[in-house]
């Protein structure tokens, strides 16, 4: 599912729960036999891999428990948002079972057509507020009725857009389930939402090599 640099060195990789045993076998093949300390494995050549619980999985003490818990079916809420665009869905295991995608026009930051800067900024602000209000309404319709069945809500896209949407008072129960990680996704579309299901279920692994 790709790699991303980790703060302080190393890299993050995301591994599908079903692939974890094979991934650990490949890690041992590349770096030598490993010993496990909690959720961290340390190989013979000094390389280490620290696995994290994916969204919706409670803390576990050891690898075997993590593999079992990550593979167990769970329902996740999804909220992807960028300027004027939102995609909301519910995933049951690896399947997207409910979704809604919406877009709003929000002007860019550069004024055009000779408008005064104040008028331009006011119009843009009103458009952004309308988009956020409509997005909050969609979250309310899709996620709020199912909130008791959700293990977590995974957000993606622009953090400020997501924060604004979930700040709506009526969405407090949804916001309380928000996972810490923000998925890096392009402009929300249905296809992006489908792809985000796998990313939301994946187990993040921090790899550091000697």
Q: How confident is the model at residue 127 (pLDDT cuts 50, 70, 90)?
A: very low
| CATH match for 75-201 among 1.10.1780.10, 1.10.1380.10, 3.40.50.300, 3.30.420.60 | 3.30.420.60
Q: Which of 209, 168, 162 is nearest to 185 (CA)?
A: 162
Percent of the chain with pLDDT over 90: 79
Burial (CB count within 10 angstroms: exposed 0-12, middle 13-18, buried 19+), residue 205: buried
**H or E stretch at 85:** strand 85-92
Residue 169: φ, ψ to 5°: -55, -35
Q: Taking the model in full, what pTM does it have?
A: 0.86
How does pLDDT run across 20-32, given as a tens digit for each residue? 999 999 999 999 9
Q: Which residues pair with 87 in a beta bridge?
A: 80, 101
Compute the distance between CA of residue 7 and CA of residue 2 in angstroms, rounded to an integer: 16
Q: Is 205 helix (H, G, I), strand (E, B) or coil?
A: strand
Residue ranges per structural domain of the chain: 3-72+203-208, 75-201
Asked if 153 and 178 count as a contact pair (C-beta separation under 8 A), the reply is yes
How does pLDDT run across 184-193, given as a tens digit for each residue? 999 999 999 9
């Amino acid at each position: 599912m790709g790699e991303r640099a980790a703060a302080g060195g190393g890299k993050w990789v995301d591994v599908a729960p079903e692939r974890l045993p094979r991934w650990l076998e490949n890690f041992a093949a590349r770096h030598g036999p490993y010993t496990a300390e909690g959720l961290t494995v340390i190989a013979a050549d000094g390389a280490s891999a620290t696995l994290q619980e994916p969204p919706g999985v409670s803390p576990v003490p050891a690898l075997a428990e993590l593999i079992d818990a990550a593979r167990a079916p769970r329902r996740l809420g999804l909220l992807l948002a960028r300027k004027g665009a939102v995609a909301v869905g519910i995933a049951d295991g690896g399947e997207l079972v409910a979704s809604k995608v919406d877009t709003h026009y929000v002007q860019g930051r550069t004024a055009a057509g000779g408008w005064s800067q104040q008028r331009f900024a006011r119009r843009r602000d009103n458009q952004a507020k309308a988009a956020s209000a409509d997005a909050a309404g969609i979250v309310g319709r899709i996620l709020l009725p199912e909130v008791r069945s959700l293990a977590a809500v995974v957000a993606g896209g622009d953090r400020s857009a997501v924060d604004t949407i979930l700040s709506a008072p009526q969405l407090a129960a949804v916001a309380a389930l928000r996972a810490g990680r923000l998925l890096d996704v392009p402009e929300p579309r249905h296809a992006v939402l489908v792809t985000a299901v796998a990313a939301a279920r994946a187990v993040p692994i921090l790899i550091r090599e000697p």
